[in-house]
Structure 1
Amino acid sequence: MSSESSTNSSTNSHQHPKGSCPMTGKTFDFCPPQAGDSRSPCPALNALANHGYLPRDGKNIGPMDLVRGLKKGYHLSSVLAYILSFGSLFLLGQFRCMSLSDLARHNLIEHNASLVHDDDNNGAEYAPTSVDNTLLTALCSEGGKVLPNRMTLEDAALIRVKREKECGILDGVHAEIARGEIVIAIGVLGGKDAAKNGVKISALHEWMSNERLPVGWKPDHTQGLYQTYKMAKFVRERMREVRAQQPSDKPPVQSQ
C-alpha cells in the first residue's frame, strides 16, 4: 500500500485493536486517532501514536515503549529518551504503564501557559488536549523575527515570556518542562543546525496542528541530552534578560 493511499484510507472510521492499525498495517504511515483512542496535550507523543511508533490507540504504554518510540521516531539519544520516559511516569506516579490521556492530568506534567493549549482554569482534573488554533496561529506569527520563516531559540524565548506574562509565571519544575517542550521540538524538527537556524515555521505548524510528522521530514541527527540542555539554557537565560528589561509588574508565580 502506498503512503498516499494508506493516508487517504486511514480517514475511514475503524478501530485500533491492541494498538495496531488495520489500514496502515505495520508501516509508520500516518493515521489520525479513531473513536476510543487516547491522546495527550503533547503533540510529540500524539504524533508518535498517529504514526505507529507508539500504540496507535494510545493505551497500555510502558516506559520501554516510550523509549523505543522516542528513539525510533525522533532519533533521541538513549539517555534523553530514558530520562523523558521514566521521568514522565515518575511525575505521573504511574510506574508500569499509562495512556496518553494520563498526561492531561493538570499540573503534573501538563501546565498552564502552554504555547498551543488553553489553560485549565476551571479546576478540572484533566486539561484540554486539543490544539487551540488561535494560539497556534499566534505562536507561528511570533516566529521569523530572527530568520525569515523560521522559529529560532530566540523566538522561543520571547514567546515563552509572552505566554507566561499572559497566564502567570510557571513554577520551577513546569518552567523547565515548558522550555524543554519547545526546545526539543526545534532541535528534532529543525535538524542538526537547529540551535543556530531553528526550524521551519511551516513544519512546526504542520506537526502541531495535525500531530503528524511533516511531509518529507526525516531526522538527520541524534538529539542528545547535552545538546538539549545547552539549547534550554539559552532559552532560560534569554527569558531572564527579557524579563529584566520589562516593567516590574510581573504576574504571580503559579503554584503546583
Structure 2
Amino acid sequence: MSSFAESSADSHEHPQGACPVTGKTYDFCPRQAGDVRSPCPALNALANHGYLPRDGKNIGVWDLVRGLKNGYQLSTVLACLLSFGAMLLLGQYRCLSLSDLARHNMIEHNASLVHRDDNNGAEYAPTKVDRKLLAALCAEGGKLLPNRITLEDAAHIRVKREAQCGKLDGVHAEIARGEIVIAIGVLGGKDALKNGVNISALHEWMQHERLPTGWRPDHTQGLYQTYKMAKYVRERMREIGAQQPPNKPGEY
C-alpha cells in the first residue's frame, strides 16, 4: 500500500521549475501539468493543499483517511467509511489515483450539481466544474437565509437536477445526497444543520478547488450528524418531488 511519504512530490512540477509551496505545509497550489484530479471538489482541494499527494496519484486508503481527518476534521469513523467505501466501489484495494474516481457510474454519477452528465458513453466522466451549473447551484441559495445554502435549499436543488437528468439508482442517490450534505456540514460549521453554508465559501471551494479564504474547521463532522442531515434532505426531496411537476427538458 502506498503511503503519503512515498508519493512522488517531484512529479508535481511547474514550467518554471519546482513547486513554490513545496515544504510549506498545506499551502494552496492549483493542479499543474501531469497532475490528475477527480470529479470531487473535496478531494481535489485536499490535493491542491497538500493533504493528499499533490499530483493526485498512488493514494492509499490510509492517505485518504488522514487527508479527510486533517483537512476537513471528519471523524475517524466517517473518514474510514468514505475511504474504504471508495476503494470497495472502485474495486481497487491497494491504491488509487484521483482520476480513477471519474470512472462513470462507479462512484461518479449523472445529475451532479456541478458537472455535466457523461452522455457520450465514455468510461471517464468530466472532472471540470461546469460554471453554469455552479452558478445555478448558488442561485438556489439565499431563499431561506440570506447568503446561505441550507439543507432545505439542497433538497430543492437535488430534486431539480434529477428531474432534469433522470432519477438515480438507490446507491448513487445516497452518494449524491451525501456529497452536498458533507459539503454543507463541513464548510458551514457546527451550526450548519440549521444555518447551512455561506454561498461565497461554497462557490470558492467548488470553482477553485481550494479551502475557502479564512475558513477553519470548528467541529468534528461525524457519521451520526451526517446521517441526520442526509435523512432530512432525503425526506424533503420526497415531499418536494410529490408536490411539483417535473422540469421541462433542459431546465435547471
TM-score (norm 2): 0.91
Partner of 1:25: 22
CA RMSD of aligned residues (A): 1.7
Q: 1:249 and 1:54, CA in 2 relative to 1: closer, same or farther beyond 3 A?
A: closer
| Alignment-derived partner of residue 90 in structure 2 | 92
Q: Deviations over 1:17-72 (max 9, x none)?
A: 25697311231000001101010000000000000000000000000000000000
Indicate which of 69, 77, 80 corresponds to 2:78: 80
Distance in 1 between the 2:20 and 2:88 partners? Answer: 34
| 1:74 maps to amino acid | Y
Residue 128 of structure 1 corresponds to 126
Could you say which residue in structure 2 is the equivalent of 1:113?
111
Call closer, same or farther: CA 1:238–1:68 in 2, change over 3 Å: same
Deviations 1:138-187 (A, max 9, x none): 00001111101100000000000000000001110000000000000000
Q: Aligned residue for 1:3?
A: none
Identity %: 78
Q: 2:4 matched to which residue of 1?
A: none
In 2, distance between residues paired with 1:145 and 1:231?
A: 19
Q: CA contact under 8 A between 2:177 and 2:230: conserved in structure 1?
A: yes
The one-letter amino acid paired with 1:23 is: P
Once the two structures are overlaid, the 10-residue window that deviates more, 91-100 or 23-32, is: 23-32
> Which runs of no fewer than 5 residues in structure 2 stay unpaired?
1-7
User: Please, which runs of 5 or more residues in structure 1 have no aligned partner?
Assistant: 1-14, 252-256
Residue deviations 1:184-207 (CA, integer Å, cap 9, x gap): 000000000000000000000000
Q: Counterpart in 2 of 1:43?
A: 41
Tell me the amino acid that sits aligned with residue 212 of structure 2: P
Look up the equivalent residue of 1:43 and give its one-letter code.
Answer: P
CA distance in 1, matches of 2:247, 2:128: 32
Partner of 1:11: none
Query: 2-side partners of 1:165 and 1:143: how far apart?
Result: 19
Of residues 200, 210, 216 in structure 1, which corresponds to 2:214? 216
Once the two structures are TM-superposed, the CA of residue 246 in structure 1 deviates from its matched residue by 2.2
What TM-score does the superposition give when structure 1 sets the normalisation length? 0.90
Alignment of 1:45-84 (within 5 A): 45-84=43-82
CA distance in 2 between partners of 1:249 and 1:209 (Å): 26
1:171 to 169, 172, 185: 169
Q: Is 1:144 aligned with 2:137? A: no
Distance 1:250 1:128 in 2: 24
> Structure 1: how far apart are the matches of 2:54 and 2:247?
46
Give per-residue Cα distances to partners, 1:96-126, cap 9 Å, x unaligned: 0000000000000000000000000000000
Structure 1 residues 249, 200: CA separation in 2 closer, same or farther (over 3 Å shift)? closer
Q: How many residues align?
A: 237
Find the partner of 2:152 among 151, 154, 166.
Answer: 154
